[in-house]
Chain A
Amino acid sequence: EPEVTQTPSHQVTQMGQEVILRCVPISNHLYFYWYRQILGQKVEFLVSFYNNEISEKSEIFDDQFSVERPDGSNFTLKIRSTKLEDSAMYFCASGPHNTGELFFGEGSRLTVL
């Protein structure tokens, strides 16, 4: 069964460092997303990406964040100058259509010290 894969599964970084989280969406999907979940909190939308550009982004997704699809398979989330409050599980998701029926990866846990 096709799946969304994410790397790394866990990253520990120092405050102020840059982090890149990587995702390989399901191959025939067209819509890509990043969500995050702070421990004990709800899943929060960060950004959606379609046709090589950002479709929508939340207030959380400020200038500190960027996304890129550098090739035909990878979808990355970059966090510049990480802060303590960036510690969370970051989920990549993809979908074949513009609906809420998404397939999530297993997540990348980011710990900022």
Chain B
Amino acid sequence: RKEVEQDPGPFNVPEGATVAFNCTYSNSASQSFFWYRQDCRKEPKLLMSVYSSGNEDGRFTAQLNRASQYISLLIRDSKLSDSATYLCVVNMKNSGYALNFGKGTSLLVTP
């Protein structure tokens, strides 16, 4: 079983749409969770951390379900600039040092 699994997509949505991405992780001892975004052939950039109670940053909402080992990201009112690959990231062990990246979900927002 892959340690971090994501639907690869691509998700093609029109501007203004709401889109949701899901992610599951295998290591129940994981303590830290994140969403990064990666533009084509660029470096990953931190989008947001994911907290147990769920958190929101503008148009982005992240949720964590520890019992199901499931993380989600909701993007409201999609912009063309949201087009990217969204990476679900989990720390490998009970430490912050090593991050385990999912392969990513590709999003294309169209006019």
Contact = CB atoms under 8 A, between A and B. Distances in A.
Interface stretch (B21-29, B53-61, B76-84, B93-101): B93-101
A62 B49 CA distance: 30
Interface of B: 32-34, 38, 41-46, 49, 87, 89, 91-92, 95-104
A-B pairs, top 5 by smallest CB distance, nearest first, are A104-B43, A43-B101, A48-B97, A98-B96, A56-B97
A104 B97 contact: no
Given A56-B97, A58-B98, A100 B89 contact: yes
Contact of A45 (B42, B45, B100, B103): B100
Given A91-B44, A104-B45, A45 B99 contact: yes
B13 to A, nearest CB: 23
Interface residues of A, number: 27
Given A91-B43, A107-B43, A100 B101 contact: no
B98 A45 contact: yes
Nearest to A58: B98
Interface in A97-112: 97-107
B98 A106 contact: no
Contacts of B46: 101-103
B96 A100 contact: yes
Nearest to A89: B41
Given A50-B97, A98-B95, 4 more contacts: A42-B101, A89-B41, A101-B49, A107-B42
